């Protein structure tokens, strides 16, 4: 199931999948975890490791008790991640809970029951349950890591803040935020990487709360005619967020300007936008995925930090690989400056793409996951890469 077509690498899970997360890596390899969503079948967690030299993906599989709706990996420990999983109790009530798991990798090359996957580097491991966030109404849909001791869970109608102790395996709720409009549900939330703030979307509105005071910091009410489905916070530029909604549009907001509307509106999708992700290193690159089966790589250079600092982009230097590349490319000479607009539309998926994630180590690698269980690893097109590096 592995394929390399125009520098992309696909991996098939044979399960319905919805959630994907990039995990921290210590050895410079891009890693992602994927949770499956099968109501009646055993569910799995797949840990995918991308080997750049071989240009292939190797996977480690873990069993997971329930269908997984969301997954979020720790920013510090590569083995820790939360899943939000749902189960039906007595055929009457479905309940979602969030659990923290630790991956325990088994030995490599262990034979899996499926003969078709023999050629792949396939191994199995086991999950160790660290703790469970004990939530009352059982509608937890998302967990966000603040740091290794504090996480935030998003439910249909409230957001809870937890203090967790990983060693002890305990979690304590320290505060909660109720939804301002009971007619809607929280659809997503994100941490402000620049401040103690959580930003959540519900219905057509965006709102931020201060984490310590639990007071609202800003509200953009009824920002658009359609529902908002996802959001991301610009990792390098404070006050800038991106949202995707049911009208297929991606909007970039300045949260200080709550009344003037978005600073940019991008419409390249023809159905709901399910996921939006800023590139951590170059925030002019924004990935969006949609149920029109497309993944779009957008450039918003005109409103990114790249526009502020024409030359120095120090973030990139963290990465040895791109540094080396940069030296190679220096001989090529000056490229055209990057411009706003769609950089590339990736259409390797056949079903709705519910999640995209950038690699945590390589600024040019990302993965997208569609409902039919197809995970595709792609790279930023080299022309765009050159443009960004050269400028």
Partner 1 sequence: MAAGDGPLHPLEAPFTAPTTHQPAASSTTTTTAGLASGTTTRRRAKSFLRNYYGIQQADAALQEGAREKSSSHPGGAALTKADPYDLDSHAFEVDKYMHKMFVEKQLPGLVQSDNELVADIRQLDGDMKTLVYENYSKFLSATDTINKMKSNVDNLESEMSRLTENISKIATSSSAIHSSLGGKREKIRQLNGVHSLLTKLQFVFELPTNLHQCLETESYTQAVKSYCRTLHLLQHYKHLTVFTGIERECKTIMVQIAQKIRQKMRAEEASLTEISENVGLLLALKEDPVALWKQYLELSLNALRKVRTKTLQSIESLPLYIPPPAAGSPGSNAQTPVATPKKSSKKARTPSGGTKDKDKDGKGSKSASAPAPVPADKVSVLNAQFLKQVEIFVSSFRSYFLVTTPTASQSGVSGEAAPSEEKELVESSPDPASSAPSSTSPPAWIAKDVARVHASLTREQQALATKAIKEAISKIVSGYLDTIRSFLDYPDDIFSIQPEVHVHVLQTLYLGTISSTSLCQLSGFDSLATGLIQNWESRLVERSLAKVKDGLLKRILEPGNGDGGWTVSIRETAQWLLDVFKMDTVPFLERCMSSEAQFMETKEGRALFLKNFQDGFKLFWDQVLQEMQQLASASSSATSSLTASDKSTVETLAPGPAAAANNNSTRTSLVMSQLCFELSNATVEQLYRAVSKTLFRPGKRNRSGSFLIESYEEPPMVAQLQWDYKNVVQSCQETGHLLLDGFISRTGNELSWLVMDIQPSSTSLSPTSTERVSVDFLTLPSPPSGVSWAWEEVYRQLNEIERQVIAVYGDEGDRAGQHRDISSESARRESIFKPTANTTGGSGSHHDGSNTNTNNGKRNDSLTSFGSNTMNSRFFESSHQQRNLLLSNIDKLFSDRVEIFVRCQDLTRTGILFGIIKILLKAWAESVRTRTFGKGGFQQVQVDAEFAKVWLWRFATADERLMHSLLEETQQTAYRRCIDPVPLDSNTVESIIHSSER
Residues forming contacts to partner 1 in the complex (CB under 8 A) are 14, 16, 39-41, 86, 88, 91-94, 181, 183-184, 203-204, 222, 225-227, 246-248, 269-272, 291-293, 347, 350-352, 371-372
CB of 149 to partner 1, least distance (A): 32
Output 31 or 141, the one with its CB closest to partner 1: 141
Q: In this complex, which beta carbon is closest to partner 1, that of residue 40 or of residue 118? A: 40
Query: Do β-strands 374-379 and 93-105 pair in parallel, antiparallel, or remain unpaired?
Result: unpaired
Q: How far apart are CA 11 and CA 31, in angstroms?
A: 13
Contact 290, 248 (CB under 8 A): yes
Give me the least distance between CB of 65 and partner 1, in Å please.
15
**How far does Cα 301 stand from its chain's mean position?**
21
CB of 185 to partner 1, least distance (A): 8
Residue whose CB is less far from partner 1, 94 or 174:
94
Q: What's the closest the beta carbon of residue 270 comes to partner 1, in angstroms?
A: 4
Place of tokens 């549900």: 185
Please report, for residues 9, 23, 62, 338, the alpha-carbon distance to residue 123 in angstroms, rounded to integers and kept in the order given.
19, 18, 9, 41
Distance in Å, CB of 134 to partner 1, minimum? 21
Which is closer to partner 1, CB of 214 or CB of 227?
227
Min dist. Cβ of residue 26 to partner 1 (A): 35
CA pair distance 67, 45, nearest whole angstrom:
10
Q: Packing angle between helix 320-329 and helix 382-390, nearest 10 degrees?
A: 80
φ, ψ for residue 332, nearest 5 deg: -65, -25
To the nearest whole angstrom, how small is the minimum distance from the Cβ of residue 80 to partner 1? 27
CB atoms within 10 A of CB 55: 13
The two tokens of residue 62 are 């873990």
CB of 278 to partner 1, least distance (A): 24
Calculate ∠ Cα 87-88-89, nearest 5°: 115
Task: Please say which residue, 213 or 267, places its beta carbon nearer to partner 1.
Answer: 267
Nearer to partner 1, 180 or 238 (CB): 180
CB-wise, 204 or 280, nearer to partner 1?
204
CB nearer partner 1, residue 174 or residue 225: 225
* 276 closest CA partner among 226, 237, 231: 231
C-beta closer to partner 1: residue 67 or 313:
67
Tokens for 164, please give them.
């967790």
Q: How far is the CB of 168 from partner 1 (least distance, A)?
A: 33
Q: Which residue number, 204 or 387, has a Cβ lying nearer to partner 1? A: 204
Q: How far is the CB of 306 from partner 1 (least distance, A)?
A: 30
């Amino acid at each position: 199931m592995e394929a390399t077509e125009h520098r992309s690498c696909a991996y098939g899970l044979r399960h319905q999948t919805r959630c994907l997360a990039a995990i921290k890596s210590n050895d410079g390899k891009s890693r992602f975890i994927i949770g499956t969503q099968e109501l009646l079948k055993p569910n799995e967690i797949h840990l995918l490791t991308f080997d750049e030299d071989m240009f292939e993906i190797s996977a480690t599989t873990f069993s997971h008790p329930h269908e997984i709706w969301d997954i979020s990996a720790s920013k510090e420990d590569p083995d820790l991640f939360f899943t939000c999983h749902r189960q039906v109790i007595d055929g009457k009530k479905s309940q979602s809970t969030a659990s923290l798991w630790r991956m325990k990798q088994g030995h490599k090359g262990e034979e899996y029951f499926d003969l078709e996957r023999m050629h792949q580097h396939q191994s199995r491991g086991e999950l160790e349950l660290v703790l469970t966030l004990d939530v009352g109404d059982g509608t937890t849909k998302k967990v966000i890591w603040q740091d290794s001791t504090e996480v935030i869970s998003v439910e249909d109608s409230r957001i809870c803040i937890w203090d967790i102790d990983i060693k002890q395996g305990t979690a304590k709720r320290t505060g909660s935020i109720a939804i301002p409009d009971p007619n809607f549900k929280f659809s997503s939330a994100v941490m402000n990487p620049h401040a103690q703030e959580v930003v959540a979307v519900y219905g057509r509105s965006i709102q931020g709360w201060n984490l310590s005071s639990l007071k609202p910091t800003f509200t953009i009410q009824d920002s658009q005619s359609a529902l908002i489905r996802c959001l991301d916070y610009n990792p390098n530029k404070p006050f800038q967020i991106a949202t995707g909604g049911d009208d297929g549009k991606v909007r970039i907001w300045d949260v200080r300007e709550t009344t003037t509307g978005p600073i940019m509106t991008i419409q390249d999708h023809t159905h709901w936008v399910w996921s939006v992700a800023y590139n951590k290193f170059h925030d002019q690159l924004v990935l969006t995925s949609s149920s029109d089966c497309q993944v779009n790589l957008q450039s918003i250079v005109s409103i990114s930090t790249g526009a502020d600092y024409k030359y120095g982009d120090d973030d990139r230097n963290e990465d040895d690989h791109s540094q080396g590349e940069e030296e190679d490319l220096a001989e090529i000479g000056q490229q055209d400056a990057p411009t706003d607009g769609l950089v590339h539309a990736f259409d390797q998926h056949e079903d709705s793409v519910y999640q995209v994630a950038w690699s945590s180590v390589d600024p040019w690698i990302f993965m997208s996951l569609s409902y039919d269980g197809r995970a595709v690893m792609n790279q930023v097109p080299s022309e765009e890469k050159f443009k960004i590096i050269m400028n």
